[in-house]
Amino acid sequence: CIHLFYSNMRGMMTFNIDDGYLDGILRGFRAGLLTNADYANLTQCENLEDMKLHLAGTSYGDFLADETGQLLTATIAEKCTQKLVKEFKHMRVNSVAPLSTFLEYITYGYMIDNIMLLVTGAIHERDTTELLTKCHPLGFFEAMPSLCAGTTSVSELYKSVIVDTPLAPYFRNCLSKEDLSEMRGSAELEKVRNTLYKAYLEDFYRYCTKELGGVTGEVMGGLLEWEADRRAMTITLNSMGTELSLDDREKLYPNFGKLYPETTYALAKLDKVDRGSMEGQSDMDPVKDLMIYHEEYANLFAGVQDDRGGVSTGGKTLEDMFFEYEVKICK
């Protein structure tokens, strides 16, 4: 007990050396979040100009001051994203390990999305320079403009660009040269995306729970387990009735989470509902039935009003329920 006491004391005495400044900055960012009263006032705004005026009195300040023309919702979303990215980068450049490594991990998911967006655009002969503007700024890296240099396969991109990024181990460990060469159709590219996300989530989970541990491991472990479970459920629903084999589907599920391994094994065996023999059922029902041993997830499916034939007839969709649950656990 005495050793633990002095160990904690040393941690408290040296905390400010590496993390004191960022702790203060982060507390300031948190204090600047919009309050319930702010949201209540925003609901009373009759137009976007009223919204701009109200936000000027919050921590957002004059972030829309340069917008003199007609204000669009896309402009507000873009400016909000720029503000978030600026604050995130400020924290990252002022951090040291292990916090700096943790913040780098957060950007990897955005990097995967950006790379797949540009690859898909290149394969379909779209203007990849224009696609660059649609990439998320948290996923930018120095070699990204090279992705627009006429490369039309994932294999070529890996050799010329991706090999020098933090994502290289995920490509190297999860995809063979043959896999990379054959990935040209939309289905194959989506398989690549999900394979990369699986490797990324498993690596991030290992880092948080094994290397960092403590409160960070406990909190981030729960958040990443939810993300793994959400992806398992979504992949199952989206792949029913497609060319993706059941064995290949199982390989896309992250190897951790509350659903792993028993429920993910069962999810991998589900196939598209036969409308003729099971009248009145949707593809979501077999997945819903497997959630009886996971009360929180069962409640999410129960909150969906109706989803027959893939078209919601009213109320909230499953995506809405997933989003609300994620917001809840992230508070």
Decide: helix, strand or coil at residue 310. coil
Tens-place pLDDT, residues 212-255: 998 999 999 999 999 999 999 999 999 888 888 888 899 999 99
Measuring CA to CA, which residue among 97, 131, 100 is closest to residue 115? 131
Kind of pairing, strands 307-308 and 311-312?
antiparallel
User: Per-residue confidence of the chain (331 residues) as pLDDT tens digits?
Assistant: 554 444 444 456 677 777 888 989 999 998 888 889 999 999 998 998 888 888 888 888 888 888 777 888 888 888 888 989 999 999 999 999 899 999 999 999 999 998 888 877 777 777 777 888 888 999 988 777 766 665 555 666 666 677 778 888 888 777 665 655 555 667 778 888 899 999 999 999 999 999 999 899 999 999 999 999 999 999 999 988 888 888 889 999 999 999 999 999 999 998 865 544 455 567 788 999 999 989 999 999 998 865 454 444 457 899 999 999 999 998 8
Rounded to 5°, angle at Cα 80 from 75 and 85 = 125
Q: Are 156 and 149 in contact (CB under 8 A)?
A: no
- H/E element, 167: none
Instruction: Tokens 């999900």: give the residue.
Output: 194
pLDDT of residue 102: 95
pLDDT of residue 20: 86
Q: Are 175 and 146 in contact (CB under 8 A)?
A: no
Q: For the chain, count helices (H), then strands (E).
A: 17, 2
Q: Rounded to two decimals, what is the model's pTM?
A: 0.86
CB-based contacts of 285-290 (< 8 A; 24+ apart in sequence) = 287/233, 287/236, 287/237, 290/263, 290/266
pLDDT of residue 160: 67
Computed from CA positions of residues 286, 292, 294, 298, in that sequence, does the dihedral angle turn out positive or negative?
positive
pLDDT of residue 221: 96
- H/E element, 307: strand 307-308
The DSSP output letter for 148 is G
